[in-house]
Amino acid sequence: MQVDQNPSFRKTITPWYDSNFACWVLIGSMVPVFCFAVGGVIVANNDPVLVPHVWFPFLLAGLSGFLAVKVYVRLKNRINNE
């Protein structure tokens, strides 16, 4: 009979960059970036010279919002599974 290498009573060790505190810090840093990018979209849409460059703050807002939501979902799933 083989010995089980991963018994069910062992708790999984998460690396420091995936800890709850690191996830909250990442979410906390992405929210101001998202707000800054939304402000950039508003400013770029109001100035006709900057309209061709509105893609950059829009992309920044999308990526930072996506990352914040993704990390929050990961954090919520981890808390619910514990």
Q: Which pTM does this prediction carry?
A: 0.78
Does 1 score more than 60 pLDDT? Answer: no
Distance CA 71, CA 58 (A): 20
Burial class (CB in 10 A: 0-12, 13-18, 19+), 37: buried
Does 7 score more than 70 pLDDT? Answer: no
Residue 6: pLDDT band (50, 70, 90) is low
What region does 45 belong to: left with phi over 0, alpha with psi -120 to 50, or beta?
alpha
DSSP string, 39-68: HHHHHHHH-TTTGGGTHHHHHHHHHHHHHH
pLDDT digits (tens, 9 = 90+) for 48-75: 999 999 999 999 999 999 999 999 999 9
Q: Which of 1-5, 18-22, 39-43 shows the lowest mean pLDDT across its residues? A: 1-5
